[in-house]
Structure 1
Amino acid sequence: MKTLHIALLVVGGIAVVCAIVIPCAILIPQNNTKAPAPVTTTPGKPGAEVTTAGATTPAPPDTRPVFTFDDIYNNKYSYKSIYPSWDESTPAQNDFLYFDGGNVTRRVIENPYDDVEQVAPDTLCVKYGGCRSWSVSADAKFVFYIYNYTKVWRHSYLADFAIWDVVKAVEVEVPGFPKDAQIHYMKWSPTGHKLVYVHQFNVKLIEDVGAATPTIVDVSPTDGMKNIKYYGIPDWMYEEEMVSTNNVLYWNTDSTKIAFLETDTSNVGLIKYTWYGDAQYPETIEIAYPKAGTTISSVKMWVYDITTAKLDQLDAPAEFSPPGTYYFSRFTWQDPSNCLVSWTNRLQTKSIGNLCVMSGTDTSYSCSSTTANMEEVIGGWVGSFGPFYPKWITGSNDYVTIYARANDGDATDGYWQLAYVAEGVTNFEWITKTSYDITEVTYYDATNKYVYYTAAYNEARRRHIFRVLATARDQTAPECMTCKFMDTYPDRCGWVTPSFNIDGSAVVINCRGYWIPMTLYITIDATGTWENEVLLENNTDLFTKVEAIKWPRKIYGKFPSPAYPSKPYNYEMWVPADFDETKKYPVLLEVYAGPEFQKIQDVWRKGFAQTYMVSTRDVIVVSVDGRGSAFEGYNFMRQVYLKLGQYEPIDQTAFVRYLIDTFDYVDASHVALWGWSYGGYTTSHTIGYDGGKTFQCGLAVAPLGDWTWYDAMYAERYMGELTTNVIGYEKASIVRGHDLNNFKNASYTLIHGTADDNVHFQSAAEMEKALVEHDVDFDDFFYADQAHSINVGNANKHIYRQIDLRLSHCLGRVDTQYPSG
């Protein structure tokens, strides 16, 4: 439930479901006195400020058209970004591979939209009726394509694969290769053209795709089976809550070994729900799903040696035993022989990285760790949705990772910082000592010994790239490599993401906002100096389109919460393009508020609430990062530990009360809130807590009703054990934590998909039963055969039309909450 699914966003022509936020503007006054209208940024001219403070006459009417409901789903306001798939098969460092849906071509980054040469034609994509995706072997001699794609869970899928021989220009025929649309995953080796794949829960290997008759080798130690045993792919819980991908399979650096996880779910309870489909009799879907307090899966890590056909198990730490009481978390190869496997205890308050070194004449593995490889947290959890990934120091078994570092003189607070972990030492050493959170170790420059990292700087809502020498210790002011772009390109480079080429001689920087995104290309000389900055993509067309309509303005602010006086809460406010402080505006609070989540981000968005509702319905949309939010120090983030559902409604309600008391343009008689997933959970809690005093209505999509119904890995990470936090679990429950009679004082809408594998329909059913028992009138409906995102077929448009009309009716903008006719 860590990711919020809200609306269809078109990025670079690709439609994805994502959380909604919207662009444009600057700070609002930070005190409790009545404030004038904010200073805003003119749409289309992000560097030019127009002060509306002190205005005494209404602004002239804006006659430009609005952002329409259909604009949520079309490509009209999409933008281009460049994330190159760097080509490892040539000596050049500026070329990358591109897939246009059929053909695979080679391009150079200086001219990123022009094909230089064709690598593979669209022959197989035409033959199989279209391709979902593709991958080129490391030597560029083969390409595989994915077709007959069927989504399974958030990241996983089933599909057929076809392999193309680039040199011979023919399809590769492998005897016994399955064509039953049951392949879960496939991956090329990092050198040459070996293939490993997972078919029907088992790991298979094609050692030489180019052989006259390629052969398939069974790698799994036993047979995998659905809801029993998985090899090379995660079960539902690991996929959703720990690895965030569709595979747990890892090639070593010279393509001689494959590591993979075994997950045994044979003793895990099954969640069952009905799939109605088109058949005369509905189908029952079963998923191994360990809920809070129940038996979790057992895991083992295996390494298969291709040369000797030997299979070795990598031991978990001795203190994590027996199986079924701990979790696998991370795996990475250092070189052909040595690797690091990270594990956590069940409550995820301690992580241990086991360094596994191959030795002896029988090439067996010895796994060990010291306290330097360990992190233990009191009053919280390790890492961010699991321990942070390590970055190896080239040529050694040393690595850099991120641990939580306490502030001097205040052990209760601190920031995520870089730690240097040397092989065999007792204690790690701190590389950084900054006053901001480090979020990712991005790249290691082995020539100049620079560690590049991403950090939430100089505001929590931003992301910038820094570097520091790996040999440095306690550095308080590492070098920011991208901060200068905030001045060079005002309002457009607050949040940047890098893509370093293979040898680190260049980097592509995607500036994601908050205003219109752009892409830069920078070369890096032998000494590590960044030079020759080139603007690759400016999205000029988007400027023109946005200027032509009533695109909302975005305002950042600080809310001084009396509940947490140590620091103000960050918030965003979206106001209409012709915002007039002399008018009254309804207010819609869009909420998520999950632990470790950050709603307030310097990124460009278009979507339902912050674009459509503001532009078309002429309302103000707001969001706030209250206690539990990430990237503002771990004291603030861990405030909700063992107390989910208790502080979120307090913070959200207090924030809206602050807006009502501070700004005359807020219409206190028309205030609504809504959210999806954890946002639906927070919405429901807030209605139960507020009881209609602040919010006239709330709309919740796919809310969790009780943490005893959710998966153990997520629930116990933040709530601890059921037996030791009985009161916490009770207060966290929507059906047990409030007087449900409070729901009688506000309009409440509950929406859920019947095939939700994440937050099960059980929550909606139990909440409905409890509300009915308390004689609460409310609006609820379901989406048959829809999962957590409710986005298959026409469902996404349908649900957003329902959300629009119900919220707009509550906000006084339409006369009915039901579609016309």
Structure 2
Amino acid sequence: MSSSTHSHKRKNSHLFPQRKSSNSSMDNPFFLDSNNATNTDSQVNENEYTIDEGRPTDATIDVTDGPQTPFLQERYSMTPRPESFEFDDVENQGRMQSFFSVDSFNRRWGEWSLPEKRSYVLVFTLIALLVLFLMVILKPTKFLSNRTTPAETSPENPSSSKRSFSIENVLDGDFVIPENTFHFINPPQILLSQDLDPGLFFTTKEIDGQTHFIAKQLFDETFEVNLGGNRFLYQGAEFTVSSVQINYELDKLILGTNLEPEFRHSSKGYYWVKDLSTGAIEPILPPEESNDDNEFGLVKLSYAHFSPAYKYIYFVYESNLFLQSVSARYAKKLTEDGSEEVFNAKPDWIYEEEVLASDKAIWWAPDDSKAVFARFNDTNVDDIQLNHYTDMDEPYLSNSRIKYPKPGFQNPKFDLFLINLQNGIIYSINADCQNDSILYNAKWISPDAFRFEVTDRNSKILDVKVYDIQSAKLLTVRTTDSNLYKGWIEKTKDVLSIPPKPESKRTEYGYIDIHTDIAGFNHLFYYPSILAKDGIQLTKGNWEVTGNGIIGYEYETDTVFFTANKIGVMSQHLYSTSFADPTSQGKLQCLQNPSDKHDFYDFELSSSARYAVSKKLGPDTPVKVAGLLTEVLNVADTHDDSIVQLTIDEKLKETIKNYDLPITNYNSMVLNDGIEINYIEIKPANVDPKKKYPILVNIYGGPGSQTFTTKWSLAFEQSVVSGLDAIVLQIEPRGTGGKGWNFRSWARGKLGYWEPRDIIEVTKKFIQTNRPHIDENKVAIWGWSYGGFTSLKTVELDNGETFKYAMAVAPVTNWTLYDSIYTERYMNQPSENQEGYLDISTIKNYKSFESLRRLFVMHGTSDDNVHIQNTFRFVDQLNLLGLTNYDMHIFPDSDHSIRHHNAQRIVFQKLYYWLKDAFDGHFDNMKILHL
């Protein structure tokens, strides 16, 4: 890595990009928000940054595929640091018993001599008299604990000490950690020298009561350009900016207003171009298109973005692609067949949700000379209907329809088209694949080579294809058969293009990919040419490249930066390796202290990798800083004034002084068949050895997912521990990610088989180890989406032996009802795996739910992901059996995140207080009625 430091000041700093001082450059769309969200997909233009109030009740959905669990906020879906006292660790039973066990004390008492016993009695008597004296004199309100009840901390008793917190504290935002806005503005092409990188970024500043966008540099702290405010007038009406994109010259902006969310990644809204030289703001419109219902003649676009080199603006309207020069006022329509069934440069529902994780399906050459876009044809795809109930102005129900393929039914077909901006012609690319093939990752490796990946319908065989522009040939350069490691093809991470380097005798473009090695772990491979069949493995070992994968690249030293869980499966650190010297291949450098095994870091690097945003997300409270990469590797050491502090945590630090925060331990347990399962234990700060504690098991468990890490958190589970005085276990069953294919492949063909078995065994062993201190009649389980499915499957198998209560939010109950690409990736098609679908993965032993004391199910009626059909079918079967030991809450017009009309606050309040009733025994006397 370069040895540049902050003291290295270039004398020719006038060459750094100033306003209107450089050529147009690489697209850098941003969503600007108070959470300072980062681009999690390295495909340029993949994300914008929105202006958001950072409300603590908003859900954020994991971008991994499949049904997901919305958390309150990612910034508190993280975990507190472990303390020395291990409540549940099997290996520490002796130490636990020495603290808790009366039997162990009696054994020691019997071994003592008479003088020892007399001394002990005398000392104990003196201590007891002293304590009694202090109790009389000082009159303390508590003896064993300084925690207080909600009644004692009421407004009528403001002087009392409030040491526990509830879900209301979480929902009211007491534990929110605001951050200053910071986003790098990317140059037109990768910077080959760190000396050319000024660390250009934008932030926001309040000026005269309005938010302004400010461009700054990390190199020159005096550099500052005001790009204007977030409100503007158009034809006498005021518009407020929701998203902003800034070009590298700092003379053009794309603004988004009135954005309406569509699905997980997509939205529709008005888009505008702002010319900073004149201050003029004009709407981006299709030619000769206007909305008669809008008095300003505006139309809502699916998106609008700069091309990578900022020469063009491209956008999608009504599923057609449009293009205009950045200096032109009018756009050209490039496609004509867009409709509700044909999508150009925009994914349909299933590709957005399960494959591309984006609202765009277009990939630009880095020099703006060409682009490839996909067209998805859903003509033969069946649709689902979502009714809408809360429109008070409509006497009849309105509805929307979504093309949604289910297992065994027709999938969308895709085609690829090349736009050659040099001659103005659009070409069809013959992808040379079956009609039911799936398009995965795509990327321009060079200005003339487009690389993409295609799998069979079941996502088992992957072909890497390269379309060479010069020869107009399509070549399959590599094939991966996941059947060899009993796996499947997951959504792949972005590849890193490696440019030629004449001084190192590297004359061709190459790339670095992340895929499975012979041992079954995801690692880095260097392909020295675009058509190379075999890659050079750069990393290896029983660990995996995690997070966003490749974080950055330093051209001068051919150093690659990436995140991995080498130190601990639940943690994450930044690593570097170089592919320049064959003798150094495979040599890694951990850029944080490897002794801090529980640390969880994430990074965002500037184009040259000179500067970085460093995010330490756990196990302590999160800290986010920006500066030279060499100076922000360890956030605890960032005391230099040149470091930009982004985390605003003063209020949080003062707030948490009022509470005894839960204690978190990161553990593992070896099951009876030798499989090691990782789990997190969260327990009250002040454990009472005389008390029996209820347990809540929190589960997701989706194949290939990694839900529970060492990130810091004060969210729903922590409020249960603190406010309900309970213990929470978060379990990662076999089939989940981060531990190689030997662990992950257990899920293949039998979703819902191993997850409940692992959960039950871990929970039972935990209870057995800590039996004197666990209330076995108050053990509950809960999950959302796949976690809801896993919770119900666990209850079905357990039959009331371990779990007495369950809460399932938006659960899958039958995998024939879920989408095809996700489900078939693991299960194949129903005709190929009838046993897996019907006998293993479907919830069908409904009578087992009779053994529960109480069940709680929640779902939104407009859930486009896990349709409410799943819950209605499940509850209908309970009704047929005459079971009444369940509660159900339906949220009209809420989608999978359940937010509509204040719904998400209610979701977590319902979960919390329902669980409180369960742990307080309020459901114990309710009888199951048999009709």
**TM-score range for the pair, normalised by the shorter chain length:** 0.7 to 0.9
Report the Cα distance in structure 1 between the residues aligned to 2:98 and 2:750, rounded to whole angstroms.
38
- Structure-to-structure mapping, 1:17-28, within 5 angstroms: 20-26=77-83, 28=86
User: Partner of 2:73 in structure 1?
Assistant: 9
Q: Cα deviation per residue 1:82-107 (whole Å; 9 max; x = unaligned)?
A: 67322346965223112468421113
8 Å Cα contact 1:292/1:722 also seen in 2: yes
- Other structure's SS at 1:8 match: coil
Matching residue of 2:794: 686
Q: Tell me how far apart the structure 1 counterparts of residues 229 and 74 of structure 2 sit (CA, whole Å).
A: 27
- Structure 1 CA distance, aligned partners of 2:353 and 2:447? 29
Structure 1 residue identity aligned to 2:174? K
Amino acid at match of 1:294: F
Contact 2:270–2:283 (8 Å) recurs in 1: no
Q: Write the distance in 2 (CA, Å) between the matches of 1:732 and 1:38.
A: 40
Measured after TM superposition, the shift of residue 251 of structure 1 is 2.1
State the Cα distance separating 1:429 from its structure 2 match.
2.6
Structure 2 letter corresponding to 1:312? Y
Distance of aligned partners of 1:725 and 1:266 in 2 relative to their CA distance in 1, 3 Å threshold: same
1:45 matched to which residue of 2?
Answer: none
Helix, strand or coil at the partner of 1:794:
helix
Q: Distance in 2 between matches of 1:801 and 1:562?
A: 38
Secondary structure at 2:619 match in 1: coil
Three-state SS of the structure 1 residue aligned to 2:734 is: coil
Q: What residue number does 1:367 align with? A: 474
Q: Do 1:653 and 1:694's aligned partners in 2 also have CA atoms closer than 8 Å? A: yes
Q: Distance in 2 between matches of 1:85 and 1:570?
A: 35
Change (3 A) 1:351 1:10: closer
With the length of structure 2 as denominator, give the TM-score of the two structures.
0.77
Candidates 641, 653, 678, aligned match of 1:543: 653
Which residue does the alignment assign to 1:711? 819
- CA deviations over 1:448-467 (Å, ceiling 9, x no partner): 11122211121111111111
In the TM superposition, 1:538-687 aligns within 5 A as 539-563=649-673, 565-566=674-675, 568-609=676-717, 611-663=718-770, 664-687=772-795
Given that residues 588 and 672 in structure 1 are in contact (C-alpha distance below 8 angstroms), is that contact kept between their aligned partners in structure 2?
yes
Contact 2:389 2:892 in 1 (8 A): yes
Matched, 1:256 2:369: yes
Q: Which is richer in helix?
A: 2
In structure 1, what is the equivalent of residue 424 of structure 2?
A: 309
Offset at residue 760 of structure 1 (A): 0.5
Q: Distance in 1 between matches of 2:413 and 2:74?
A: 40
Amino acid of the residue matched to residue 484 of structure 2? Answer: I
Contact 2:846 2:877 in 1 (8 A): no
Q: Residues 662 and 272 (structure 1 numbering): CA distance in 2 closer, same or farther, change over 3 Å? A: same
2:512 to 389, 392, 400: 400
Which residue does the alignment assign to 1:49?
none
Q: What does 1:275-286 align with in structure 2 at a 5 Å threshold?
A: 275-278=388-391, 279-286=394-401
What letter matches 2:498 in structure 1? I
Tell me the secondary structure at the aligned position of residue 131 of structure 1: strand
Q: How far apart are the structure 2 equivalents of 1:177 and 1:96?
A: 35
Separation in 1 of the partners of 2:269 and 2:665? 44
Moved more, 179-188 or 802-811: 179-188
**Alpha-carbon separation, structure 1, partners of 2:231 and 2:851:** 62
Match of 1:106, as an amino acid? A
Hey, what's the Cα distance between the residues in 1 that align with 2:240 and 2:175? Answer: 26
2:496 to 391, 399, 410: 391
Retained in 1: the 8 A contact 2:466–2:477? no
Measured after TM superposition, the shift of residue 287 of structure 1 is: 0.5
Q: 1:173 to 1:418 in 2, by over 3 A?
A: closer
Q: 1:605 to 1:315 in 2, by over 3 A?
A: farther
Aligned equivalents of 1:301, 1:511: Cα separation in 2: 40
Distance 1:10 1:649 in 2: 26
Aligned to 2:521, the other structure's residue is in SS state strand
**Partner of 2:229 in structure 1?**
121
Q: Does 1:72 align with 2:170?
A: yes
Mark the runs of 5 or more structure 1 residues left unpaired by the alignment.
12-17, 41-55, 408-413
Mapping for residues 219-258 of structure 1, pairs under 5 Å? 219-220=334-335, 222-226=336-340, 228-258=341-371
Contact 1:741–1:774 (8 Å) recurs in 2: no
> Which of 177, 180, 188 in structure 1 is aligned with 2:306?
188
Q: 1:730 aligns with which of 821, 838, 846?
A: 838
Q: Which sits farther off after the overlay, 440-449 or 261-270?
A: 440-449
One of 506, 510, 521 as aligned partner of 1:415: 521
Q: Which amino acid aligns with 1:77?
A: F
Corresponding residue for residue 480 of structure 1: 589
Q: Are 2:460 and 1:349 aligned?
A: yes
1:297 matched residue in structure 2: 412
1:148 aligns with 2:258: yes
> Does the 8 Å contact 1:744/1:776 carry over to 2?
no
Moved more, 676-685 or 122-131: 122-131
Query: Is it true that 1:93 corresponds to 2:198 in the alignment?
Result: yes
CA drift of 1:704 comes to: 0.7
| Post-superposition offset of 1:80 | 4.2
Structure 1 residues 82 and 508, CA gap change in structure 2 (3 angstroms): farther
Q: Is the 8 A contact 1:381 1:717 kept in 2?
A: no
CA deviations 1:312-332 (Å, max 9, x no partner) are 22332x3x32x2x11111111
CA distance in 1, matches of 2:271, 2:908: 35
Structure 1 residues 497 and 21, CA, compared in 2 at 3 Å: closer, same or farther?
A: closer
Tell me the TM-score normalized by structure 1: 0.87
**Separation (CA, whole Å) in 2 of partners of 1:115 and 1:281:** 58
Aligned to 2:562, the other structure's residue is in SS state strand
Between 1:619-628 and 1:393-402, the stretch displaced more is: 393-402
2:605 paired with 1:500: yes
Q: Which residue of 2 aligns with 1:15?
A: none
Distance in 1 (CA, whole Å) between partners of 2:498 and 2:639 is 28
Deviations 1:282-334 (A, max 9, x none): 11221100000111000012121223221122332x3x32x2x1111111112
Alpha-carbon shift at residue 441 of structure 1 (Å):
2.0
Q: Deviations over 1:244-298 (max 9, x none)?
A: 1111122221122222110000000111121123111111221100000111000
Q: Which amino acid aligns with 1:447?
A: E
Secondary structure in structure 2 of the residue aligned to 1:312: strand
CA positional deviation for 1:816 = 10
Kept in 2: contact 1:696–1:810 (CA 8 A)? no
Cα deviation, 1:629-656, whole Å, max 9, x if unaligned, reads 1001211011111010111111111111
Instruction: Describe the SS at the equivalent of 2:239.
Output: coil
Question: Structure 2 vs 1, CA of residues 574 and 627 (structure 1 numbering), >3 Å: closer, same or farther?
Answer: same
Per the alignment, do residues 647 and 82 of structure 1 end up closer, same or farther by CA in structure 2, a change over 3 Å counting?
A: farther
> How big is the shift at 1:123?
4.4
Are positions 1:802 and 2:910 aligned together?
yes
1:21-48 Cα shifts (integer Å, max 9, x gaps): 53221574653774545999xxxxxxxx
2:482 & 2:465 partners in 1: Cα distance?
15
Provide the C-alpha distance between the structure 2 equivalents of 1:192 and 1:239, rounded to a whole number of angstroms: 25
| 8 Å contact kept, 1:429–1:473 | no
Distance 1:667 1:347 in 2: 45
SS in structure 2 at match of 1:75? coil
**Cα offsets for 1:587-617 (capped at 9, x unmatched):** 11111111111132011122112x2111111
Q: How far is the alpha carbon of 1:511 from its aligned partner? A: 0.7
- Is contact 2:513–2:526 with CA below 8 Å preserved after alignment? yes
- Partner residue, 2:243: 133
The reply on whether 1:512 has 2:601 as its aligned counterpart is no
1:329 equivalent among 434, 440, 449: 440
| Cα RMSD (Å) | 3.2
Which residue does 1:411 correspond to in 2?
none
Report if aligned partners of 2:271, 2:283 keep a CA contact under 8 Å in 1. Answer: no
- The 5-angstrom pairing of residues 41-60 of structure 1 reads 59-60=144-145
Separation in structure 2 between the aligned mates of residue 358 and residue 776 of structure 1, nearest angstrom: 65
- Quote the residue 1:51 is aligned against: none
Q: Which residue of 2 aligns with 1:14?
A: none
Q: Provide the C-alpha distance between the structure 2 equivalents of 1:159 and 1:625, rounded to a whole number of angstroms.
A: 39
Q: Matched residues in 2 for 1:311 and 1:755: separation?
A: 38
Q: Which amino acid aligns with 1:516?
A: T
- Kept in 2: contact 1:583–1:665 (CA 8 A): yes
Give the 3 Å change call, closer, same or farther, for CA 80–496 of structure 1 in structure 2: farther
Rg (Cα) greater in structure: 2
Counterpart CA distance in 2 for 1:298 and 1:658 is: 49
1:771 maps onto 2:886 in alignment: no
